[in-house]
Amino acid sequence: MKANDFYTIFERQVADYHLQDSIDAPTSNPYTDGSLENMLWEKSFVDTVQWHLEDIVRPADVDPVLALEIKRRIDRSNQRRTDLVERIDDCFYTQFAAVAVKPTATINTETPAWAVDRLSILALKIYHFGIETARTDASPEHKAKCQSKLDVLLTQRSDLTQAIDTLLAELASGDKVMKLYRQMKMYNDPSLNPALYGKK
Q: Which residues in the chain come in under a pLDDT of 70?
A: 183-189, 192, 199-200
Helix axes of 140-173 and 112-133: crossing angle, nearest 10 degrees? 160
Cite the DSSP H helix spans in the chain. 3-20, 36-56, 64-95, 112-133, 140-173, 194-197
Instruction: State residue 43 phi and psi, 5-degree precision.
Output: -60, -45
Structure confidence at residue 181 (pLDDT): 79
Structure confidence at residue 14 (pLDDT): 98
Counting Cα atoms < 13 Å in the Cβ hemisphere of 76 gives 8
pTM of the complete model: 0.89
Structure confidence at residue 198 (pLDDT): 74
Per-domain residue ranges for the chain? 3-191
| pLDDT digits 0-9 by tens, 62-101 | 999 999 999 999 999 999 999 999 999 999 999 999 999 9
